[in-house]
Amino acid sequence: MIIAEDDKIEKLALKEKLAAQFEMKDLGKLKYFLGIEVAYSKNGIFISQSEESAPVEKAQYQRLVGKLIYLSHTRPDIAYAISILSQFMHDPRERHMQAVDKILPYLKSSPGKGLLFKREDTLTMKIYTDADYAGSITDRISTFGYCMFLGDSLVTWRSKKQDKVSCSSAEAKFRALAQGMCEGLWMKIILDDLKVKVDNPVQLYCDNKSVMSIAHNPVQHDRIKHIEIDRHFIKDNLDRGFVITTHVPTELQIADSFTKGLPQGRFQDLVSKLGMIDIHLPT
């Protein structure tokens, strides 16, 4: 939605009324809308539509991205980037290859980086879930991500586009919560087969209080008819005590790095919380 005005007070009042009825995210000054790019200067406003970038050699792109997909099994810090690049395997363009070329120097700068699995006497399972609402500029489908820790060790993670467009940020994050819960229950079954005891219920961390309220409160039925199966699944496991939900501030939401591109400082901060180390660096 674009809001235009010649009265800043009226615009603010309109935004407040809309926010009271709908869950909204203010993206700030208009820069991009339905393929149209908007630029500003002292001379006025310039709008344009970029031409499609040139195609690249498909086999080479597929080989490179395929290797990066395999490498991401021990490098969760590139999981989001690879999930985006892998969406264009059948029709890669020059801009996609340029993105690959940016990932390679990053990997070469820290070839010894990987995951440390720590020895621990007790194990608790923690899962961080998140979604970037309507993050894809091509089809407005949200990207969800989760990461699971056993104790302080990262054991599984995922970054992936959802299978349909979500109508709100709460819906996108609710679906991510359900995906994270599925992953936790699946891992618990594996650990039970291996006779590994997990202390306490699975802890699900989410940074959206509306999502947590919907998960616990069946009264909000009308808001979530379209995600009814997920709601029953989540509520059932909460009632049985298998899982508990915990609110985490957005700045501490580790799964943020699996759902969107981030500024360098924020990205490095979250990567440090994934339990990755570089064996080539002096201790």
Domains of the chain: 58-114 (no CATH), 115-278 (3.30.420.10)
Q: Summarize pLDDT for 69-98 with one digit per residue, the tens.
A: 999 999 999 999 999 999 999 999 998 999
Q: Which of 158 and 170 is assigned the larger pLDDT?
A: 158
Backbone angles phi, psi at 193, to 5 degrees: -65, -30
In angstroms, rounded to a whole number, what is the distance separating the alpha carbons of residues 168 and 21?
12
* Tokens representing residue 245 in the block: 């939900």
pLDDT score, position 120: 84
In angstroms, rounded to a whole number, what is the distance separating the alpha carbons of residues 273 and 144?
19
Q: What is the pTM of this model?
A: 0.76
pLDDT over 70 at 227, yes or no? no
